């Protein structure tokens, strides 16, 4: 079994004395930075270990001083200043330490005692999907059918002349029939997707043109075209196989337009302090788009792109995954495979161990049988690919864990760092299996239904008895799982501060139930150090250490001194990627 880092302490990091372990650690950092050409000497700087060359160091390009540096490094957890030269961090320590790297052209930034962190790493995000969605009507704020109609009309007015109309971000239980969308557009296709992307609602025109109004079947598994008693489609489409006939009515943007949209999305992500993402969908064409942007120096975001293994994929098709695995750019790289084991609770497509609380006739279904998953995932594992599996229901989580256990038996243990995504529900018997199998728990704190609104159908689907292990971040983490965080944008906002807010301010589902909220010191590693580890890049990023990549975010407040209920208001004032300032002055 691969060796996992120990669960992070819940208390604030404290300075440590100089010791042999620290000296060896810093020597390794220096070696990775290529700094061992000259002798190294160590000095103790305000109880922090700091190293520098005996010769006068080359000037830094940038020094950030007077900062509250939370390095996310277990050896040197705090500092006051950081120096950057080129694409790398060259010094971490006190203001005096980093001042030695100041030259005539060095820019010095006074952080004014605000927090400096490693750049945020979003461990679950859909970059191209989210970027394209920026061009649709945004319906996240809609609380009624009238709101939906108003927002769609406003978007249509601002984008006149489009042959069809798209909306996204809608919550459940707001649109119930296609006629509500016909009132907006009766003569051209209209398609609105739910916030989670697993359900959509279409108008009559779209259903007619797609050939599924009065008949027809979904084009994929675990999908439902909802129909009334007469067999006529109501407009509700559950999962990709049901949506695909309507989606085909809306041509994908051109490659040039996709590139523009991704550039815009990257700018927005940088403004939120995000410097790396694990892009949890992908194919070779999408990767090639990102590569073209990297070659043109248009990519200011590091993107880890897996190959999507669909239920229809064959072993021969994994040759594409191998081609993507060979991509090892500074900003775009492959090396993973993504599976969807189930859907979501909201549309009854998540696989549960026991029936849904509000639909006792079903437990949902899986996209992969256990045997099919083992066959395909074991082949990926033999190729050296990391396997990530979408599992919302506790039944899907169990099936993925069963599969990973069998894959270890078949292929032998290795440092695979396989992962399960979402884990909205988990059965008590499966909590300890993450640690035993070395499986990463990739969860999204912003997913938890926060307000128990009338439109939040999730709690009713799960039922009161399952609430104690719903979105169980603390329970999963306490059992030794390696926990990383993300947004699943565009399902939820990509702003890491909202993810921190959700994790910090989580309340029990009901009186007497456990509270799965986390502390700041438990949450930050999931956006930094541990997220880098989850993509095999812990020696390159995720911490503020000499020799590592200069991916940094400077906030406008001292995060540790900010009241938890105000964390959501904290903003980045500067984001640095590869040593370049990509957001802020």
Do 330 and 449 lie in one domain? The reply is: yes
Q: Please give the torsion angle defined by the CA atoms of residues 444, 448, 450 and 452, in that order, rounded to the nearest 10 degrees.
A: 160
Distances (CA, A) of 379 to 165, 322, 390: 41, 11, 18
The string of DSSP codes covering 537-556 is -TTTSSS--TTSB--EEEES
Residue at 402 is within a domain: yes
Domain count across the chain: 3
- Domain limits for position 41: 1-113+543-585
Beta-bridged to residue 69, according to DSSP, are 79, 116
Please give the span between the terminal C-alpha atoms of the chain, in angstroms, as a whole number. Answer: 46
Residue 567 DSSP label: G
Residue 425 has φ and ψ, to the nearest 5°, of -130, 145
Asked whether residue 123 is domain-assigned, the answer is no
What is the C-alpha to C-alpha distance for residues 387 and 418, in angstroms, rounded to an integer? 5
Select from 520, 530, 510, 523 the least CA-distant residue to 470.
Answer: 510
CB crowding 26-42: b at 16 or more within 10 Å, else e: beebbebbebeeeeeee
Please indicate, yes or no, whether residues 418 and 273 belong to a single structural domain of this protein. Answer: yes
Q: What is the pLDDT of residue 17?
A: 36
Tell me whether residue 122 is in a domain: no
Stated as kind and residue range, the H or E segment containing 155 is: helix 145-158
333 within domain boundaries = yes
Q: H/E/C letters for each residue in 19-56?
A: CHHHHHHHHHHHHHCCCCCCCEEEEEECCEEEEEECCC
pLDDT for 455 equals: 61
- Is residue 237 domain-shared with residue 268, that is, in the same domain? no
What is the pLDDT, as a whole number, of residue 525? 99
Q: Structure tokens of 534?
A: 């989850």
Q: List the beta bridge partners of residue 42.
A: 51
Q: What is the pLDDT of residue 34?
A: 40
pLDDT of amino acid 387: 99
The answer on 413 and 371 residing in a single domain is yes
Length of the chain: 585
329: domain CATH number is 3.20.20.140
User: What pLDDT, on a 0 to 100 scale, did the predictor assign at position 6?
Assistant: 45
Q: What is the pLDDT of residue 552?
A: 99
| Ranges in the chain, pLDDT < 50 | 1-10, 15-54
pLDDT value at residue 134: 93
- 465 and 554 part of one domain: no
d(CA 554, CA 498): 17
Both tokens assigned to 576: 């640095």
Q: Are residues 200 and 238 in the same domain?
A: yes
Instruction: Report percent pLDDT > 70 for the chain.
Output: 89
In a domain, 479, yes or no: yes
25 and 45 together in one domain: yes
Residues 441 and 571: their CA atoms lie apart, in Å, by: 27
User: Cβ(103)–Cβ(148) under 8 Å?
Assistant: no
Contact status, residue 72 vs residue 62, Cβ threshold 8 Å: no
- Does an H or E element contain 214, and which? none
Residue 44 and residue 76 in one domain: yes
DSSP structure string for 66-115: S-EEE---SSS-EESEEEEETTEEEEEE-HHHHHTT--TT-EEEE-TT-E
- Domain end, chosen from 247, 277, 293, is at 247
In a domain, 205, yes or no: yes
- Same domain for 326 and 425, yes or no, is yes
Bridge partners, 65 (sequence order) = 110
Q: Indicate the SS3 state at residue 356.
A: strand
Domain containing 74 — which CATH number? 2.30.40.10
Do 297 and 404 lie in a common domain? yes
Q: Report the b/e string of 452-463 with b at 16+ CB within 10 A.
A: eeeebbbbebbb
In this structure, are 335 and 468 located in the same domain?
Answer: yes
Domain termination residue (choose one: 247, 263, 289): 247
What is the bridge-based pairing of β-strands 233-238 and 224-227?
Answer: antiparallel
Report the pLDDT value the prediction gives residue 47, as an integer from 0 to 100.
Answer: 35
pTM: 0.89
**Which residue, of 516, 536, 556, is where some domain finishes?**
536
Report yes or no on 265 lying in a domain.
yes
Scanning the structure block, which residue is given the tokens 């499986």? Answer: 439
Are 80 and 44 in the same domain? yes
Which pLDDT belongs to residue 13?
A: 54
Instruction: Evaluate whether 325 touches 317 at the Cβ level (below 8 Å).
Output: no
Residue 124 lies in a domain: no
pLDDT (0 to 100) of residue 517: 94
CA distances from 508 to 37, 452, 517 (A): 56, 12, 9
């Amino acid at each position: 079994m691969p060796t996992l880092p120990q669960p992070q302490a819940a208390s604030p990091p404290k300075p440590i004395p100089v010791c042999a372990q620290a000296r060896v650690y810093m020597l390794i950092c220096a070696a990775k930075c290529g700094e061992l050409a000259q002798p190294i000497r160590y000095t103790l700087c305000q109880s922090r270990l700091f190293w520098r060359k005996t010769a006068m160091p080359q000037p830094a390009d940038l020094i950030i001083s007077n900062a509250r540096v939370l390095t996310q490094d277990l050896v040197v957890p705090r500092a006051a200043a950081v120096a950057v030269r080129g694409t790398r961090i060259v010094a971490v320590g006190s203001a005096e330490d980093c001042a030695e790297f100041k030259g005539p052209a060095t820019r010095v930034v006074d952080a004014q005692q605000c927090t400096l962190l490693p750049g945020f790493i979003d461990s679950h995000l859909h970059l191209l999907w989210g970027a394209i969605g920026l061009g649709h009507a945004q319906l996240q704020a809609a609380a009624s059918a009238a709101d939906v109609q108003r927002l769609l009309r406003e978007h249509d007015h601002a984008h006149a002349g489009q042959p069809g109309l798209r909306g996204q971000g809608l919550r459940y239980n707001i649109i119930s029939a296609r006629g509500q969308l016909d009132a907006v557009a009766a003569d051209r296709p209209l398609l609105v997707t739910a916030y989670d992307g697993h359900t959509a609602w279409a108008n009559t025109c779209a259903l007619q043109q797609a050939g599924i109004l009065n008949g027809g079947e979904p084009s994929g598994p675990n999908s439902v075209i909802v129909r009334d008693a007469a067999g006529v489609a109501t407009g509700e489409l559950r999962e990709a196989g049901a949506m695909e006939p309507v989606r085909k009515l809306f041509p994908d943007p051109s490659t040039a337009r996709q590139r523009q949209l991704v550039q815009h999305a990257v700018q927005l992500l940088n403004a939120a302090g995000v410097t790396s993402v694990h892009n949890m969908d992908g194919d070779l064409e999408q990767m090639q788009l990102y590569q073209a942007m990297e070659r043109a120096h248009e990519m200011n975001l590091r993107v880890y792109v897996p190959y999507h293994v669909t239920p229809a994929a064959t072993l021969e098709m994994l040759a594409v995954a191998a081609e993507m695995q060979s991509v090892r750019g500074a900003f775009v790289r492959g090396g993973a495979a993504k599976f969807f084991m189930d859907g979501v609770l909201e549309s009854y497509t998540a696989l549960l161990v026991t029936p849904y609380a509000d639909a006792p006739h079903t437990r949902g279904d899986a996209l992969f049988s256990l045997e099919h998953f083992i066959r395909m995932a074991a082949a990926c594992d033999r190729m050296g690919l990391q396997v990530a599996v979408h599992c919302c229901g506790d039944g899907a989580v169990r099936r993925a864990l069963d599969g990973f256990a069998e894959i270890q038996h078949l292929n032998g243990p290795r440092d695979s760092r396989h992962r399960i995504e979402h884990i909205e529900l988990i059965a008590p018997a499966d909590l300890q299996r993450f640690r035993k199998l070395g499986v990463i728990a990739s969860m999204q704190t912003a997913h938890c239904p926060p307000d128990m609104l009338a439109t939040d159908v999730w709690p009713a689907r799960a039922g009161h008895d399952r609430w104690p292990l719903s979105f169980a971040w603390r329970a999963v983490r306490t059992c030794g799982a390696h926990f990383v965080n993300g947004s699943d944008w565009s399902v939820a906002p990509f702003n890491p501060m909202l993810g921190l807010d959700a994790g910090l301010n989580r309340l029990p589902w009901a009186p007497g139930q456990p509270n799965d909220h986390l502390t700041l010191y438990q949450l930050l590693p999931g956006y930094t150090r541990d997220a880098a580890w989850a993509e095999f890049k812990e020696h390159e990023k995720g911490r503020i250490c000499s020799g590592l990549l200069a991916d940094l975010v400077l906030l406008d407040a001292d995060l540790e001194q900010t009241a938890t209920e105000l964390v959501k208001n904290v903003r980045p004032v500067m984001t640095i990627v590869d040593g370049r300032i990509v957001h802020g002055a």
